[in-house]
Structure 1
Amino acid sequence: MKLRHTLRIKMIIGFVIVIAPLVSFLSYLNYYSMEMIRAQAAQAKNDLLQVYFDGIDKNIDRVSDFLYKLVLNDPDLKSLGLHPYASRDYIFAKYLLMGKLGVELEEFPDAENFFVYRTDRDEFIATSQFQDKFLNNFDLPAFKETIRADRTDRWIIVRSRQEAALIKLVPADVNLVAGAWIRLDRLIAPLQSVESVEGSESEAVILSREGEALTPSRFATNGLTAPETGHTYSEAIGPDKRKFLVIAKQSELAPFTIAVSIPEQQLFRSLLFYQKAIYLIPLAAALIIVLFIAVLQNVVYKPMRTLLRGMAKVGKGDLSVTLHSSDKGELGYVLNSFNEMVARIREIDIWETQRPVIIDKFWQDLLSGRQLLNVERLETMISLFKKPLASDGFVIPILISASQWKQHISAEDETTMEYALRNAAGDIVLNGLSGDVIQDRNGTIFALVYLEADAAGKLETIQAQIDRNCASYLDACLQYFCSSLCCYVGEPSPLLKLSETYYALLELERHHVTAANTVYYQKDMKSFSAQLPSLYWLPDWAIPFKFGKWDSVREKLEETFGRLEQGVPPAKEAMEGIYYGTLYTLYTIFHENGIPVYSVYQAADLNPPAPPLKSVLQLKRWTFAVVHKGIPCFQQTDQQHDGIVAKIMNYVAAHLKDDLSREELAEKVYLNPSYLSRLFKKETGQSLSDYIGQVRMEEARRLLSQTNMKIVQVAEESGYRNVSHFTKMFKRMTGVTPQEYRSKYLGDIG
């Protein structure tokens, strides 16, 4: 299941959809409240700055009026321009002017001093304190140059080494300029005292029109920016990375601006929630989501996951699952209901799983007569099978007998094939019919065809269907399972008398061993008493067997089985007599000659898992095989052995290029492959495979030394299809590769 389709993700998404608008609304409300506080604080500071500027502009305007009156009406100032420079009248007028400027200065608290500058004589006329301050704080030549260059009637800002000042220049005549000097730090001092009350971090600073700080400030020289036109305030970041609210007011008479910076931390000090809520709301929302997920995990998701896993196991066929939950609510009820449902399914599954076994057991007991049933109990049992069969109905039993297998198979494979035959019988024999396929206690397969009580009129049609189905079944088994079968069809029998028909079919199958791939009906078969053939033949083949005369033994066996196959039909007891008589004869002859039986035979040779008694052909094959395997032990003379070994050697030399196998060589001399290997090693001292390899290597050395054949051709002539394998075997036998052998041999000849 994809993650986005899980219940957990869907519930989390739903919760986020619900809580997101609330978080957004709270965040907007907090932001709006903070903006309102900023706007109100900015408006209050703007009102304060307006009042402060009204006083400053009024004082500046008074200073300007004084300078204008001084230039226009003061006789001493005018006398300076009329009297010769340094004359007694000039000096007298100068000192009178200096005294007058000092007296007038007391009336203007914002002004630092008044002065008169004579440009042609480079002379300042002012109080002595003014002269000292200029010498200490100002670049006097630069200041004088400013006066000469800018004689316009306006306020200008002059910067000194330590401070900045506001200067007003009013020309009196060509050479005389009257001026006023106002220190900016004194101009803003009252406002700074108001802003620096105890506990406040607010700061007032004077800025130039370019935004440069003209009085001491915590910000850099250009760190503050006045709000744009139409805005009440602006924001700035301080050196300590704190956020400041900036409110500014520009003078209408002079080129400066007063700005007040207030830390937002101070602004929201009394409203701490608003200051931190912008961070707390998302954190709170995240915490709520985490808590919601935790609750969801324990209350909903964990039980649901348990339920889904249990359902997945049940879907895969695992009915052993049991869900545990401590929940006493609805989900706990769901899990308990699931456990009850699985328990019921388990009971049904056990019944459905065991139903074929129970059906087999029922029919086995009924056929064998071990279970005595009345009509009521029979109806109860039949109702459990859910089959269209009534207690007063009839059953046609069909015995399916495997006469022989076309190929040799092991006991384990035979069991598997019998299972396949049973399944095929259910599909083919019961095609279009109602019934079941079972096996009795001995493993014999029976197909049971169910008939209704009133099916007498349909009996011919049903038997024709059975005949067609059985014929198709026999053909299919012969084609696909390599098995020859017989089908024995019994008479329709009531359920309570079915065992009689069952035993009759078993007796019929017991004595009918010659035919295969045939359908027999019980009504067409007559009881018979077979004549047992005489076992006089055992001494006939036993004597030539002792002397290793296989031809005589084979002739006697052919005569015996020829007579046996002519029986109509041969008796089962006769076949059993031949089987056990053969075993007795072999054990006796080997014991008399001191040869251990199991040095020649495997246990399965003499004691197969299932005795070969299903057909005459099966018994014949077994008899010929065991007798032929034992007779080489009694073929007496060494001359005979030498003749066999010589024949093998000649055959190997003549067919060196062929793929020589032990089985092929044994077939050429009519011996068992295992016996041939033992005989060859006994006579030559080496195994058959080693001898073949030795002959091939000798031929390869001869071809390498006496011909110009390529290595590939030498390998093929020596019986090797793979050159790499030939090279590997040649080096193992000779110690050198074929190329090295040829080079060495040619070198020795040279």
Structure 2
Amino acid sequence: MGTEGTTMYNLLLVDDESSVVETLAVTIPWADIGIGTVHKAFSAKEAIDMMTMHEVDIVITDIHMPVASGLDLVATVQERWKRTKCILLSGHAEFEYAQIGIQNHISGYLLKPVSDEELMVCVQEVVGQIEQESSRNDAYERAMKVLRDHLPRLKGELLHDLLQGKRLSPDKLQEKINLLEVPVTCGDDILMALVRYKEDFTDYNPFEMSLMEFAIGNLATETFESHFQVWQCIDVHDYLVLALIPKRGELPEPRELLVAKLVNQFQLNVQQFLKKRISVLVGQWGVFPDSMTGMYNNLLLVFRRRFGTERDLPVYTMDTSDTVDIHMLNRLYEPPTLMHLMEAGHWEAVEKKLEAALEELELYWAESNEHITEAFFFIFSSFSFIAHKNGKKLSDLIDEDYVKGKELIPSNTVKHLREWVRNVFDKFRVNALQESRTARAGIVMQAQKYMLAHLSQNISLQEISDHLRLHPAYLSRVYKLETGENISEYMTRLKLEKSVQLLTLSTMKIYEISLEIGYQNPNYFNKVFKKHFGLTPQEYRTSKALS
């Protein structure tokens, strides 16, 4: 293979038999498998001295050596050079050695005498591991840089999701909060405010609008930072939402008075420094995260009632009389939406969401025909949307269940709605799974056809994936899911079936058969064949001739 432009790795050969080291160092085409420099050592001590002086990526060591064994060397390497990969060579087929090696995280275990092809394949696999790890480390560093660069936006997106009712488990929420460095923990007191611009910004382009939002957000942080952490986002109505989290310790005066003073100062700061006028609505105190959606919905309601379309209104602070119990079907509308889940084919999540919505109906709105009707319309429209997006009619997918829908609601009870939803959902899921299986079967058929056509070549998963224009990981997963075996297992079986056919029906020599099925090394072919059939190719041919 070509190595121009690729990273070359350093390898260290260790064996107390100098002839073994010298032979391996000069007879293997190391450059072909990504090895640039081959170092040599004849004891564990020499190996450690060599690694102290030179960077080594892969160590190949014999187990049985005087003074310190290869296992001792591996243990030292793993302690001092954690990223270095180790391959063990042993003339003893004893499982205990492999066990000890595995405990020391070895990357390969080969029995002596080892063929050149076996050793090259093993080293090539280890080089692939190193490249994957390096790629993952690089990707991690890039991801962390992107995370730091976009931290304010990502914080805003999390707040936005919580306001819309997105549900996260306490552990998952805390993990996100820690990752994004949001200064809040579950159970903290939190205050929310809505900010609306009093001027019409229709003349602003998106970039200018973003700058204005950024500037107002910065002024909010500066105004409140002496007593509050500020967490902010732009909501779906283009309001600036401020979540104010008290800093640790007691606030210096009654918190209502302190908030009123700071909010007024914030409004003045925006007018003074940005020459813009804003309206600010301050809500009631709540608890993070349980109160978030309710607090936000109450703020929107009061904004509509108190502010309306007027823009020349001052700061307004809600009191308890403004707080209302909002009668909403929360589970249907909270993200991710039903349509998005169905669009992505997350059928288990769709089923859970539907069940949660029906449980909410049963628990709170079982006597409300209006809420049952609302739920039906929402679910019916979601199913219709997905059917139409897939180029089908809902009536064709759900048959007689659609007739009930022509009356706009299947019944006025949650029980009957549940039955209708279950029937329609089951038909949707069966249809989607059938389409998916058909697509997967087609992929498997194309992969097998390509492998059969290139049986005499040592093709890789990457080559097959490139031919099918699929990601290797996806192809591997689909193939295993459909057939129950790996692509490499199928390829080996295909080669061996072909070799049996040639051994039985042709007079080709063993080495010719080996080349015909893609094994360049006849000895390796013999070993694979015997492992599978219990006989060498010649023994198999002889047994068939006698039978």
TM-score by length of 1: 0.24
TM-score by length of 2: 0.32
Greater RCO (Cα-Cα under 8 Å, separation 6 or more):
2
